[in-house]
Amino acid sequence: MAQLLWWENAVIYQIYPRSFQDSNHDGVGDLQGIIQRLDYIANLGVDAIWISPFFTSPQKDFGYDVADYCDIHHEYGTLADFDALIEKAHDLGLKLMVDIVPAHCSEEHKWFQESRQSRDNPKADWFHWVDPLPDGSAPTNWLSFFGGRAWSFEPRRQQYYLHNFLPSQPNLNYANPDVMNAMMDVARFWFDRGVDGFRLDAVHTINADSAPYKDNPANPEFVLGPLPQDQQPFFRQYHDGAQLNQPNIQRFSEEIRKVADSYDDRYLMGECDGDNDNAMMVSQTFTQAGRLHATYNFDLLKWDGLSVEGMRDAIAKAVEAFNDSGRLSFAFSNHDVPRSASRQLAKLGLDESQQQAMQLLLLQLEISLIGSACIYQGEELALPDVQDIPLDKMQDPWGIEFAPAFLGRDTCRTPMVWQTTAPHGGFSEANDTWLPVAEAHLSRAGLDEAERPQSNYNKLASFLKWRKDQPAMMEANTMTAPTGDAHQIIFTRISDKQSLRCCFDFETLSASFEEI
């Protein structure tokens, strides 16, 4: 078998920079703070880091609203800080990926500031501008992920503009080749600085079609229930082919792949999703030859957790679609969903004393699958989700919109803790932090746990070290379809040199591996 490229089986550690480490005592994490903690990450044994957006931004969606794609937000540091970060990461043997947001920017970006002024300026068609319907209403029935319509009215142009998220996040118009070229220049800017790859945020929400736009059909399978993520009004509609996953999106995939291929060994991982059971087909479309290298798989990220059968079914779909390839990246947690051990404890009816064993098992499972795996900061410590943030301390616009029925994403974004006895757990020496430090996290502080031999951190580090010696995991991306009883997920990883039977037992919360 041909030797795998680094990204085909990488373990990628996701950093949410605002909550990782504050170096200048303002209560907000920053790039110098990441530099201070790179040894902690490298010693864990991961292969790469992925940093959520740190670009210039009004921070209305905490970096996913970009006002300048080629500069650093002042709270996070400077380009010189970034250059120092990438140099140290590479010295430690870590690849570095940054989170590019191609579908939309901030209303404060100079492109939108110019575009919104008139219908005849040089940037007039860089965004999706549409006349009202005869009755003055929005041009389609499209809804925003964050609540309300996906169209907002601009009185200067007497037109609506499209935003799939906040009104302050207008969607770029990729039907305009100038927009495409501008974003390719952004990609070159970061590749030229030595970045090893991009995690491309929400690529399925890129809009590349021109008017007339068509309405989304109703989702006949929607069932009203309590308000986790999938009970928003947004999910009362089907979106593929109209509002989302437009066929012309793939022009973006093809263009950015050409840019990546003009450099050595660069990686493109696209976050994408689809209606109902459509996610695997969407991922296959995005990773056809000449498009993205891989997609970021949502199937293990269900907001309220998965049963063992649900996990097994999700893995089986991935194996059916992507066996013998590294074109899929798995994750049980990220900055957008409650922390995985808390989700799974509740789903499987386990108690808090079992949380650390549950978290280690989830990570071992994820890392044992084909393709790459993404670990969200704090998962190596089995940090619980934080459900007791006071409403007046909440920051996430999504949670603020729907609280208290739905608390949004702040619950997984509280600052990392590093030392149990230090102020704010060692995250910051400021009087206050941007989100409160969770008291429940202090007993699992990162630097303290790294010194404790039997901590989850060190058990995961040992597992990652062992994995690097397993040909079935490191030299091939082949596995059998998962089987097992009501409590187990069992499969075999296969290479020319080894067949390794992997068994994950959610009754005993233990993993076992056997050469066969």
Q: Which residues are catalytic?
A: 201, 271
CA-to-CA dists, residue 480 to 83, 312, 320, 499, angstroms: 42, 12, 9, 10
DSSP 163-208: -SS-TTSPBBBTTSHHHHHHHHHHHHHHHHTT--EEEETTGGG-B-
Q: State both tokens at 467.
A: 């994995």
Q: State both tokens at 249.
A: 């999106």
Taking Cα atoms as reference points, which of 200, 192, 7, 185 lies closest to residue 83?
Answer: 192
Dihedral sign of CA atoms 13, 19, 21, 24 in order: positive
C-alpha gyration radius of the chain:
22
List the end-to-end C-alpha distance of the chain, in Å, as a whole number: 19
Dihedral sign of CA atoms 107, 254, 212, 229 in order: negative
Angle at 367 between CA 362 and CA 371, to 5 degrees: 135
Angle at 388 between CA 442 and CA 418, to 5 degrees: 20
DSSP character at residue 129: E
Q: Measured in whole angstroms, how far is the alpha carbon of residue 232 from the centre of its chain?
A: 20
Answer yes or no: are the C-beta atoms of 384 and 390 closer than 8 Å: no
Enclosing H/E stretch for 474:
helix 471-474
Q: Measured in whole angstroms, how far is the alpha carbon of residue 432 from the centre of its chain?
A: 27
- CA–CA separation, 234 vs 222, rounded Å? 10
DSSP 146-159: TSSBSEEEETTTTE
Q: Any bridge partners for residue 200, and if so which?
A: 100, 270
Q: State both tokens at 430.
A: 């400021």
- CA–CA separation, 419 vs 63, rounded Å? 27
- CA–CA separation, 198 vs 190, rounded Å? 9
DSSP 242-299: TTBS-TTHHHHHHHHHHHHHTSSS-EEEEE---SGGGHHHHHHHHTSTTS-SEEE--T
CA dihedral 284, 285, 290, 291 (to 10 degrees): -100
Answer yes or no: are the C-beta atoms of 445 and 456 closer than 8 Å: no
- CA–CA separation, 382 vs 46, rounded Å? 17
Residue with tokens 């996906």: 150
